[in-house]
Structure 1
Amino acid sequence: MPPIADLVLFAIALAAAGVVSGLLAGIFGIGGGAILVPVFYQVFGYLDVPDAVRMHLSIGTSIAIIVPTSIRSYTSHRKRGAVDTALLKSWIVALPLGAVLASVIAAVISSVGLRLVFVAIALLVALRMLFNRESWRVGDTLPTGLANQIAGVVIGTLSGLMGIGGGVLNNTYMTSFGRPIHQAVATSSGVGVLISIPGIIGYVWAGWGAAGLPPGSTGFINWIAVALIVPIALVVTPWGVKLAHSMSKRQLEVGFGVFLLLVSLRFLVSIYG
Structure 2
Amino acid sequence: MEPQTRRTVTQVVKMAPRMAPMAMEMMVMLALMIEFQKMQAEAPEVNVEAEVKDHEWSVDVSEEAVKARQAQLPGEFKQKLSIEDDEEGGGNTIYDELGDWIQAQAAEKGGIDNVDSISIYVKAKELGIEAKSRTILVFAQTLFDQNICSQIPKRASMLKQVINSERHEKALLGGTERLIGQLGTEHPGLYDQVVKILQLYYHHDLVSEEVCMAWGSKASKKYTDISISKKVRKAAAPFLTWLQEADEEESSDEE
Larger radius of gyration: 2
Normalising by structure 1, we get a TM-score of: 0.24
Higher RCO, 1 vs 2 (CA within 8 Å, ≥6 residues apart): 1
